[in-house]
Structure 1
Amino acid sequence: MSWRDISTAPDPGTVVCTIDEVEGVRAFDLSGFPLLVIRDAAGLRGFVNLCPHQYLPLDFRGGNILSADGVRLICSSHQAQFDSTSGEVCAGPAMCGLDSVPLRRDGNKITIGDG
């Protein structure tokens, strides 16, 4: 499934937040579209905030979803683990990785990209 297949997927150019609002990982609800934004030394990335195991947000049972070393995103419901750079599944019950959402920096703002 692609992020664009979700009925609430935002249009390219939609403003998510300002760059200063994200350090590490932060979850957003964009009019019903669940988005994770990660900003760290590896850059800026976005993923659909739905664990592919049961399609619950990774932060459904709590907001602490980034491993202490920043390498993995961890589903708070099922403990499935995903690479925080690629979204690929690392461990747990999920059979596939997180769907990537293209982001871009537009001045001080983070927006949905065209990709």
Structure 2
Amino acid sequence: MKLSEVAGGPAAGDILCHLNDIEDGKAREFAFHEGEERREIFIQRQGDEIFAYENSCPHAYIPLNMKEGEFTEKSGKYFMCHNHGALFDIKSGLCLAGPCNGQSLTAVEVYVKDGAVIAL
């Protein structure tokens, strides 16, 4: 998903935040809305890499997290839907276990340049 195509979202090339704004192993959440349409995303930092997804479980279309910035299970190896216990691969977003097994989180296109996290 390109954020520039989301109602109320940033334009392509806009800076969302800086890599240093996201604690390693944690995520930062963003919400974009226009009128009735609302989209929530999160950007997970793993060292110098980032992974961005829509904050919506493909099983019930509800947010994955219950605490702000926390999307992984205790070991930090997988995203976890805190409502259903589904586990997702951090790099691909693929559900590996749970009621949505085989489905995927919706990836969000972002990249890092000169320490800035930039929308596409």
TM-score by length of 2: 0.76
- SS of aligned partner of 1:110: strand
Question: Does residue 1:28 correspond to 2:29, yes or no?
Answer: yes
What is the identity, as a one-letter code, of the residue corresponding to 2:40?
P
Larger Rg: 2
1:3: how far off?
5.8
Q: List structure 1 runs of 4+ shifted beyond 6 angstroms.
A: none
- For structure 2, the 5+ residue unaligned runs are 34-38
Percent identical pairs in the alignment equals 23
- For structure 1, the 5+ residue unaligned runs are none
TM-score by length of 1: 0.78
Give RMSD over aligned pairs.
Answer: 2.3
Q: Is the 8 A contact 1:3 1:48 kept in 2?
A: no
Aligned length: 111
- SS of aligned partner of 2:26: strand
Once residues 75 and 48 of structure 2 are traced to their aligned partners in structure 1, the CA distance between those partners, rounded to angstroms, is 13
- The equivalences for 1:11-90 within 5 A come to 11-22=11-22, 23-32=24-33, 33-41=39-47, 43-59=49-65, 61-63=66-68, 64-90=70-96
